[in-house]
């Protein structure tokens, strides 16, 4: 008895995936729930387990192929079914017969004379492979015009600039690797963000003295009671929630000609992974304690590193925090995560001389950057938001007093 292995439901708004890796080959024995292959979508990686125990008799979708939801991936012979029938399949003369059928069509096509106007237009536009609709497959002028209209938008969207020529000896030392679906989606979304939003960035700096002192004083007790380390991210999350309450347009989004204000905060925490940047979302962060936030960040971070994030865990964010400081960044302008209207960029903590009360004092300082959509967030609101974040971090007692 043969069982079909099909593409599982990939999540909301995801309709196709690429077969990344097959862990089993035809003829291999498989157990129930043993991983057969890995699918790569534009958001996450999905593992496909075996629904039954038996022998993998056929792989229908090879590595690199694009498959839709519920598409057939493989066939499994249940029980001790031998893979012999599949071994015979390649031995059948199917492959020699396949080229035999197109061959006559190809030779017949070479004897057909295209319309002169079509040949002229094809030469002028560097077209060679145009499907003809005339008698015996003859290419007519209308066919060339249709081919031009079908292909005209593609170069503008996919070819930003021709690649500069490379010397032959250098070309031999280059390696061309196809972008993963995740990387393609990251590139598209970031460029769409730049093209759509009126993005602007405002900067400020924060003295981290009080936060660092508070963290050092209570980190041991915090770890003992809650079982998780007290990091800086929970302070920044709380400070952003505090500021979003005062400047709600930073937590809003544009929907056509409407502005949708969110009366909740789903905080996106950008995380770098070996496969690219992902943004897991902590839902209802405005209702969570420091400990709950730190635990959620720890869980999401581990899932991101292991590639185990689900679609639901990366959707619905209303605001994002990106911490480039962990990589040593001193200053940067983060790009909006659409359809959100704001993203806060954290950076490296660095000791700098500061003038305080007429004296020069060395303080641990961090630059903050808020990128925002100027279509709905005015400069006043953006600056106010960043100042409120700064005030809350420089005096964490404000968070307790809601000041």
* Mean pLDDT of the 182-189 span: 74
Q: SS in 3 state form for 139-162?
A: CCHHHHHHHHHHHCHHHHHHCCCC
Is residue 108 over pLDDT 80? no
Quick one: pLDDT at residue 403?
63
Region 73-87: mean pLDDT is 62
Q: If pLDDT is split at 50, 70 and 90, which confidence band does 248 have?
A: very high
Q: Are 294 and 267 in contact (CB under 8 A)?
A: no
Of 60 and 84, the structure prediction assigns the larger pLDDT to 60
Q: What is the pLDDT of residues 9-29, one digit of tens each?
A: 766 556 778 888 888 888 888
Return d(Cα 49, Cα 65) in angstroms, integer: 18
The token pair that represents 185 in the structure block: 């989606």
The gap between the terminal CA atoms of the chain, to the nearest Å, is: 69
Q: Which residues are catalytic?
A: 374, 378
pLDDT digits (tens, 9 = 90+) for 328-339: 888 999 988 888
Measured distance CA(187)–CA(189) in Å, rounded: 6
pLDDT at 362: 96
* Residue 113 binned pLDDT confidence (cut-offs 50, 70, 90): low
Question: What would the mean pLDDT of 227-238 be, rounded to a whole number?
Answer: 91
Residue 62 clears pLDDT 80, i.e. is over it = yes
The mean pLDDT value of the chain amounts to 80
Confidence of residue 39 (pLDDT cuts 50, 70, 90): confident
Compute the distance between CA of residue 117 and CA of residue 141 in angstroms, rounded to an integer.
Answer: 6
| SS3 assignment, position 94 | helix
pLDDT tens-digit profile of 338-373? 888 999 999 999 999 999 989 999 999 999 999 999
């Amino acid at each position: 008895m043969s069982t079909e292995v099909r593409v599982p439901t990939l999540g909301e708004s995801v309709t196709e995936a690429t077969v990344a890796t097959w862990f089993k080959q035809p003829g291999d024995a498989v157990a129930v729930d043993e991983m057969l292959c890995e699918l790569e979508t534009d958001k996450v990686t999905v593992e496909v387990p075996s629904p039954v125990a038996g022998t993998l008799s056929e792989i229908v979708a090879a590595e690199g192929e694009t498959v839709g939801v519920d598409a057939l991936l493989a066939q499994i012979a249940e029980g001790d079914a031998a893979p012999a029938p599949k071994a015979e399949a390649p031995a059948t003369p199917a492959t020699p017969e396949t080229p035999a059928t197109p061959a006559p069509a190809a030779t017949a096509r070479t004897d057909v004379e295209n319309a002169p106007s079509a040949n002229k237009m094809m030469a002028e536009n560097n077209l060679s492979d145009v499907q003809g609709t005339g008698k015996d497959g003859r290419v007519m002028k209308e066919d060339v015009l249709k081919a031009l209209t079908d292909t005209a938008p593609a170069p503008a969207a996919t070819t930003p600039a021709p690649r500069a020529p490379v010397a032959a000896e250098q070309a031999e030392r280059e390696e061309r690797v196809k972008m993963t679906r995740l990387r393609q989606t990251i590139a598209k979304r970031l460029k769409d963000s730049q093209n759509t939003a009126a993005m602007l960035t405002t900067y400020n700096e924060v003295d981290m003295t009080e936060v660092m002192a508070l963290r050092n004083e209570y980190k041991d007790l915090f770890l003992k009671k809650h079982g998780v380390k007290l990091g800086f991210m929970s302070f920044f999350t709380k400070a952003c929630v505090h500021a979003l309450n005062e400047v709600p347009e930073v937590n809003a989004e544009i929907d056509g000609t409407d502005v949708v204000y969110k009366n909740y905060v789903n905080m996106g925490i950008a995380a770098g992974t070996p496969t690219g940047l992902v943004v897991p979302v902590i839902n209802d962060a405005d209702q969570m304690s420091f400990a709950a936030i730190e635990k959620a960040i720890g869980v999401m971070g581990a899932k991101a590193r292991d590639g185990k994030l689900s679609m639901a865990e990366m959707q619905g964010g209303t605001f994002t925090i990106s911490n480039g400081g962990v990589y040593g960044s001193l200053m940067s302008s983060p790009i909006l995560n659409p359809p959100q209207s704001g993203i806060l960029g954290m950076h490296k903590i660095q000791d700098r001389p500061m003038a305080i009360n007429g004296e020069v004092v060395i303080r641990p300082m961090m630059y903050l950057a808020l990128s925002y959509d100027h279509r709905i967030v005015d400069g006043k609101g953006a600056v106010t938001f960043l100042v409120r974040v700064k005030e809350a971090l420089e005096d964490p007692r404000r968070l307790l007093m809601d000041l």
